[in-house]
């Protein structure tokens, strides 16, 4: 059973549009205890967090207080993403351990008709509840101070106190879990404001860990078009999709690389959905079925990427730098390794051919337009002395040359031999009539001629 706690507190009186209506600020609080807290942040009495609201484009800044070193940046409060676990410091914003909280300012950019301010938090124990005072200002009074430090009463410098929030359970129940707070007004809108000031207090001082894990802050504009707000998905859960033929499923874990989530969904997934089945079709062999599921984990690490069986791990720092350049192609290369499945009995396979084949499919099939391994690429290399077994792009160029000159099926045949554990150097002669070194010499001469021509 879910338990919800709802508190309504009336604060202040205001007059709207000349009509002497009595408006009341209302504070709705909802709590999902630990056992019921799930990544969706679903509350009965508080609206679901939205990824598109007036806070999305607002500027958040710390007015006073020290941010905890293990906290996520202040942008976590309006990034449209919620944590998907109960204790994810990097996905929340919180003030330093041992300090008594601090102040945050939200600049909405211009005066808007504020309808709601909604705040969300999640922690398994004392850092779950929210304790703060919310002030607001249009910023147009003479004495307005945009950054009143701790100890300065905001009401003395152009701010109005809107709400005094304290969601600590007073019935002795466990404090851990998710909290949602929605501040609104009985008259439909709270008022016209540009600035919000959160004066955040710690929930307790029995130990150093009383500063709340704030997950997200939403500000709803009463005049915004009535488009259904985009509900926030738990963006740190894996992104799972089917390939274009409907036969395979690929899972991309972005938990440790949330900055790559959008790229994963809009760039990587469509490319792999189209190309994984094509790669499977390019590399068949008798009695072989390629994996119908594999996973890609994006996270900071050394190097670019590796594949172990059906598990691909790729360096999110590198990918982020290569978005729009090599990011997607590098994972098409890894997808080739998934299809190759040389794990068993593959110890005899020459590494240069394994990597060269993956780069051949990547550069000559998937993205020939980027000229990553063709003559145009070679032309930019200095002191170039190509060896057919130099691996990666150079071997890819060699394989493309053999494909065009001798055997259109060479990559598929070599792949089948390697997968079966039957590769030996004699196969080159069998398929093309020439040994690999002989082919290599001929290829090198041909490249030299082409490069010389281009140089003239």
Spatial neighbors of 381 by CB under 8 A, at least 6 apart, are: none
**Are the C-beta atoms of 137 and 158 separated by less than 8 Å?**
yes
Residue 35's CB is within 10 A of a number of other CB atoms, namely: 12
CA Rg value for the chain: 30
CB of 301 to Zn ion, least distance (A): 15
**Residue with Cβ nearer Zn ion (106 or 361):** 361
Q: Please return the burial class of 152, using the count of CB atoms within 10 Å of its CB with bins 0-12, 13-18 and 19+.
A: middle
**Residue with Cβ nearer Zn ion (16 or 304):** 304
**Are the C-beta atoms of 195 and 158 separated by less than 8 Å?**
no
CB of 334 to Zn ion, least distance (A): 7
**Residue with Cβ nearer Zn ion (117 or 373):** 373
**Residue with Cβ nearer Zn ion (50 or 340):** 340
| Alpha-carbon distances of 442 from 170, 393, 398, 434, rounded to whole Å | 84, 18, 10, 10
**What residues does 4 pair with on adjacent strands?**
none
**Residue with Cβ nearer Zn ion (162 or 358):** 358
**Residue with Cβ nearer Zn ion (365 or 405):** 365
Which stretches does DSSP call E strand in 206-360? 214-221, 239-242, 249-253, 293-299, 305-308, 311-315
CB of 322 to Zn ion, least distance (A): 15
CB of 363 to Zn ion, least distance (A): 12
**Residue with Cβ nearer Zn ion (84 or 359):** 359
Which residue, among 351, 360, 293, has the nearest Cα to 332 in the 3D structure?
360
**Calpha distance 90→92 (Å, rounded):** 6
> How is residue 174 written in tokens?
């466990």
| CA end-to-end span of the chain | 80
> How is residue 201 written in tokens?
């207090």
CB of 199 to Zn ion, least distance (A): 54
CB of 309 to Zn ion, least distance (A): 14
**What residues does 317 pair with on adjacent strands?**
none
Using DSSP bridges, classify how beta strands 293-299 and 191-201 pair: parallel, antiparallel or unpaired.
unpaired
> How is residue 441 written in tokens?
């010499």
Element (H, E) at 59: strand 59-64
CB of 398 to Zn ion, least distance (A): 16
**Residue with Cβ nearer Zn ion (342 or 406):** 342
CB of 235 to Zn ion, least distance (A): 29
**Calpha distance 331→314 (Å, rounded):** 8
Residue ranges binding Zn ion (CB under 5 A): 355, 358
**Residue with Cβ nearer Zn ion (84 or 355):** 355
CB of 392 to Zn ion, least distance (A): 8
CB of 354 to Zn ion, least distance (A): 7
Spatial neighbors of 244 by CB under 8 A, at least 6 apart, are: 273, 274, 277
Residue 289's CB is within 10 A of a number of other CB atoms, namely: 9
- Three-state SS for 364? helix
**Residue with Cβ nearer Zn ion (201 or 338):** 338
**Residue with Cβ nearer Zn ion (46 or 358):** 358
CB of 304 to Zn ion, least distance (A): 9
- Three-state SS for 46? coil
């Amino acid at each position: 059973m879910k338990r919800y706690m709802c508190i309504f507190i009336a604060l202040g009186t205001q007059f709207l549009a000349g009509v002497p209506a009595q408006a009341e600020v209302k504070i709705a609080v909802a709590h999902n205890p630990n056992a019921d807290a799930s990544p969706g942040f679903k509350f009965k009495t508080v609206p679901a967090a939205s990824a598109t609201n007036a806070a999305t484009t607002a500027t958040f800044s710390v007015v006073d207080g020290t941010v905890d070193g293990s906290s996520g940046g202040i942008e976590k409060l309006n990034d449209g993403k919620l944590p998907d676990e109960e204790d994810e410091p990097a996905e929340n914003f919180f003030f330093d351990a041992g300090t008594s909280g601090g102040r945050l300012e939200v600049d909405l950019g211009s005066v808007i008709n504020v309808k709601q301010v909604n705040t969300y938090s999640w922690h398994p124990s004392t850092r779950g509840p929210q304790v703060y005072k919310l002030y607001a200002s249009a910023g147009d009074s003479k004495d307005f101070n945009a950054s009143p430090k701790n100890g300065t009463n905001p009401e003395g410098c152009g701010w109005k106190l809107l709400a005094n929030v304290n969601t600590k359970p007073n019935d002795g129940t466990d404090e851990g879990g998710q909290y949602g707070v929605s501040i609104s007004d009985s008259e439909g809108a709270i008022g016209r404001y540009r600035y919000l000031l959160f004066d955040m207090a710690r929930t307790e001082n029995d130990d150093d860990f009383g500063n709340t894990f704030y997950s997200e802050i939403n500000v709803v504009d009463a005049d915004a078009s009535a488009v259904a707000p985009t509900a926030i998905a738990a963006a740190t859960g894996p992104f799972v999709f089917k390939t274009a033929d409907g036969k395979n499923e690929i899972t991309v874990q972005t938990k440790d690389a949330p900055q790559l989530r959008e790229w994963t969904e809009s760039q990587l997934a469509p490319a792999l959905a189209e190309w994984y089945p094509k790669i499977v079709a390019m590399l068949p062999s008798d009695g072989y079925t390629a994996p119908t599921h594999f996973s890609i984990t994006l996270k900071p690490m050394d190097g670019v990427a590796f594949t172990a069986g059906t598990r691909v791990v790729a360096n999110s720092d590198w990918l982020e730098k290569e978005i729009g350049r090599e990011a997607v192609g590098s994972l098409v290369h890894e997808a080739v390794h998934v299809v190759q499945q040389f794990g068993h009995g593959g110890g005899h396979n020459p590494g240069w051919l394994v990597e060269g084949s993956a780069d051949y499919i990547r550069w000559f099939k998937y993205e020939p337009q980027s000229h990553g391994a063709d003559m145009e690429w070679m032309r930019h290399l200095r002191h170039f002395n190509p060896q057919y077994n130099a691996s990666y792009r150079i071997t890819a160029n060699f394989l493309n040359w053999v494909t065009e000159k001798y055997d259109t099926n060479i990559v598929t045949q070599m792949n089948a031999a390697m997968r079966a554990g039957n590769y030996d150097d004699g196969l080159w002669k069998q398929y093309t009539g020439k040994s690999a070194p002989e082919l290599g010499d001929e290829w090198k001469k041909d490249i030299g001629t082409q490069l010389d021509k281009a140089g003239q």
